[in-house]
Chains A and B, each alone.
Chain A
Amino acid sequence: MTVADMALSVQDLEIALVGTGRPVPVVTGVSLAVARGEIVGLVGESGSGKSLTSLAVTRLLDPRVARVTAGSVTLYGRELLDLSEPAMRTVRGKEIGMIFQNPMTSLDPAFTAGYQLTSVLRRHSGLGRRAARVRAVELLGLVGIADPRRRVDQYPHQLSGGMRQRVMIAMAIACEPKVLIADEPTTALDATTQAQILDLVKTLAGTMRMATIITTHDLGVVAEVCDRVAVMYAGQVVERAGTEQLFYRPRHPYTERLLRSLPRVGAARQLAGIPGQPPRAGHFPVGCRFATRCGYATESECTTAVPVLRQLADDRSARCVRTGELELIGVDA
Chain B
Amino acid sequence: MIDNVVGPSVGIAVPTPVGFGGWRAFRRHRLAVIALAVFGVIVLAAVLAPVLPLPDPNAQVLTDRLLPPSAGHPFGTDELGRDQLVRLLFATRISLWAALQATVVGVVLGVPLGLLTGTVGGRLDGIVSRAFDAVQSIPALILAIAVVAVLGRQLTPAMVAVGIAFAPTFYRVSRAAASTVAGETYIEASRSMGQKTIRIVVDHVLGSVVAALVVVISTTFAFGILAEAALSYLGLGAQPPSASLGSMLTSAANLLNASPQLTVEPGLVIVLVVLCVSQVSDAVQAVASAGDGG
Contact = CB atoms under 8 A, between A and B. Distances in A.
Interface of A: 17, 26, 46-52, 55, 60-62, 65-66, 100-102, 104-106, 183, 281
A52 B8 contact: no
A2 B62 CA distance: 101
Contact of A101 (B1, B2, B5, B7): B7
A66 B9 CA distance: 16
A52 B2 contact: yes
B6 to A, nearest CB: 5
B35 to A, nearest CB: 25
Interface string B1-18: 111111111100000000
B3 A46 contact: yes
Nearest to B1: A46
A320 to B, nearest CB: 24
Contact of A105 (B2, B6, B8): B8
Given A46-B1, A47-B1, A52 B6 contact: yes
A102 B3 contact: no
Contacts of B7: 51, 55, 100-101, 183
A26 B4 CA distance: 14
A48 B1 CA distance: 10
Contact of B2 (A17, A102, A104, A106): A17
Contacts of B10: 102, 104-105
Contacts of B6: 51-52, 55, 60-62, 65-66
Nearest to B5: A65
| Interface size class, chain B | 10 to 19
Contacts of A102: 8, 10
A50 B7 CA distance: 11
Interface centre among B1, B3, B4, B8 (most CB of A within 10 A): B3
Contacts of B8: 100-102, 105-106
A253 to B, nearest CB: 23
A51 B2 CA distance: 8
13 contacts: A46-B3, A51-B6, A51-B7, A52-B3, A55-B7, A61-B6, A62-B6, A66-B2, A66-B5, A66-B6, A104-B10, A105-B9, A106-B8
B2 A26 contact: yes
Interface in B1-39: 1-10
A24 to B, nearest CB: 10
Nearest to A61: B6
Nearest to B9: A105
Contacts of A52: 2-3, 6
B59 to A, nearest CB: 58
A324 B4 CA distance: 36
Contacts of B9: 105
Nearest to B3: A51
A44 B133 CA distance: 51
Q: Which 6 A-B residue pairs are closest in the complex by CB-CB distance?
A: A51-B3, A62-B6, A105-B8, A65-B6, A105-B10, A46-B3
A50 B6 CA distance: 12
Given A47-B1, A66-B2, A101-B8, 16 more contacts: A46-B4, A47-B2, A51-B3, A51-B7, A52-B2, A52-B6, A61-B6, A62-B6, A65-B6, A100-B8, A101-B7, A102-B10, A104-B10, A105-B8, A106-B8, A183-B7
Contacts of A65: 5-6
B5 A47 contact: no
A321 B122 CA distance: 63
Contacts of A26: 2
B215 to A, nearest CB: 25
A281 B2 CA distance: 9
Contacts of A100: 7-8
Nearest to B4: A46
A35 B3 CA distance: 26
Nearest to B2: A47
A50 B5 contact: no
Interface in B91-137: none
B166 to A, nearest CB: 34
A43 to B, nearest CB: 13
